[in-house]
Amino acid sequence: MRNKILLTILSIFVIATLSGCVTGPKEVTTPGGKVKIEEGGTGPDWCKKGTKITASGPQGQGSFEIKGITTYKDKEVCEAEYIYDQGSMVQYFNEDSSYMVMVYKDKEGKVTQEINVANPNP
């Protein structure tokens, strides 16, 4: 539960950052804690490889890192990875966030769940 709350906070800031609502290094205080955004260097504005978004608060800490543009299930998307104690979550999304998939993996890298956030009932 703790990781899902933190993941929700981070996801909101990933979308806001990559849609151009937030630019440059920023630190934002939210009701859930502090969020620090460090912009990366390469790629389109909505998917700058190396961008890091870190959140800390009462629920714990977590960090997303933008890996850059990739192809996932025949779609050109941005890839971001969140690593936490129980494993990791890779998020794939397009520029307007009309396509967003979250793939959860355990510590060994085995996929445990895949969620299509933009269209949860495909």
Mean pLDDT of the chain: 77
At 39-85, the pLDDT tens digits run 777 888 888 899 887 777 776 677 789 999 999 999 999 999 988 77
pLDDT at position 84 is 77
Contact criterion met (CB below 8 Å) for 89 and 65: no
pLDDT at position 72 is 95
Reported confidence tier of residue 113, pLDDT bands at 50, 70, 90: very high
pLDDT at position 59 is 66
The closest of 2, 15, 5, 38 to 91, measured between CA atoms, is 15
The closest of 41, 26, 46 to 94, measured between CA atoms, is 46
CA distances from 18 to 56, 58, 63, 78, 96 (A): 20, 25, 15, 10, 9
pLDDT at position 2 is 44
CA distances from 23 to 17, 28, 40, 58 (A): 7, 12, 10, 26
Sequence spans of domains, the chain = 2-116
Share of the chain above pLDDT 90, in %: 32
Residue 26: pLDDT over 90: no
Contact criterion met (CB below 8 Å) for 49 and 62: no
